């Protein structure tokens, strides 16, 4: 799972959904194109920040620790969105919707646990006292 804020994941998905609607592209195709574009950036291992027209000089940037997320985290986001898409298809099919619209898929994806801020709850036992050994 991409270690990004759930709000960022939902925002990326919402933006992709709107772009897909504007261009009459299927949501699955928009997600695949999103991943392919990010893979093109990541496979080089460096961010190109400037180059001359003839390619004589190229300036690279390595992501800094203080940046909000790295290229590999963003690529992980693309994979997670594709997995959530697949899960949404399974969920909708189990509910009897064998040919869902992109609207149905999008709504199901937004409701997925992986795109929520809190996905699990743990009990806090940090102040518990355990008998020591003698």
Higher pLDDT, 35 or 103: 103
Phi/psi for 59 (5° steps) reads: -110, 125
The reported pTM is 0.62
Q: Is 64 helix (H, G, I), strand (E, B) or coil?
A: coil
Backbone angles phi, psi at 66, to 5 degrees: -75, -10
- Which single residue is written with the structure tokens 């697949």? 86
Please say whether the beta carbons of 72 and 85 come within 8 A.
Answer: no
Q: How confident is the model at residue 106 (pLDDT cuts 50, 70, 90)?
A: very high
Question: What integer pLDDT is reported at residue 101 of this predicted model?
Answer: 95
pLDDT at 40 (0 to 100): 74
pLDDT confidence of 114, banded at 50, 70, 90?
A: confident
Across the range 74-103, mean pLDDT stands at 92
- The answer to whether the CB of 48 falls within 8 A of the CB of 59 is yes
Q: Which residues of 78-91 are buried (b: 16+ CB within 10 A; e: fewer)?
A: bebbeebbeebbeb
| Spatial distance between the Cα atoms of 132 and 134, rounded to a whole number of angstroms | 7
Quick: pLDDT tens for 39-65. 776 665 566 667 666 666 767 666 565
- DSSP one-letter string for 65-90: TTSS--HHHHHHHHHHHHHHHHHHHH
């Amino acid at each position: 799972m991409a270690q990004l804020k759930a709000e960022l994941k939902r925002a990326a998905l919402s933006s992709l959904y709107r772009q897909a609607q504007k261009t009459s592209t299927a949501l699955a195709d928009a997600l695949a194109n999103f991943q392919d574009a990010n893979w093109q950036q990541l496979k080089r291992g460096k961010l190109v920040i400037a180059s001359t027209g003839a390619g004589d000089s190229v300036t690279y940037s390595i992501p800094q620790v203080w940046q909000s997320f790295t290229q590999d985290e963003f690529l992980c986001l693309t994979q997670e969105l594709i997995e959530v898409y697949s899960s949404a298809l399974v969920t909708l099919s189990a509910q009897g919707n064998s040919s869902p619209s992109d609207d149905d898929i999008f709504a199901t994806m937004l409701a997925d646990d992986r795109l929520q801020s809190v996905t699990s709850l743990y009990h806090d036992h940090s102040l518990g006292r355990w008998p020591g050994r003698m």
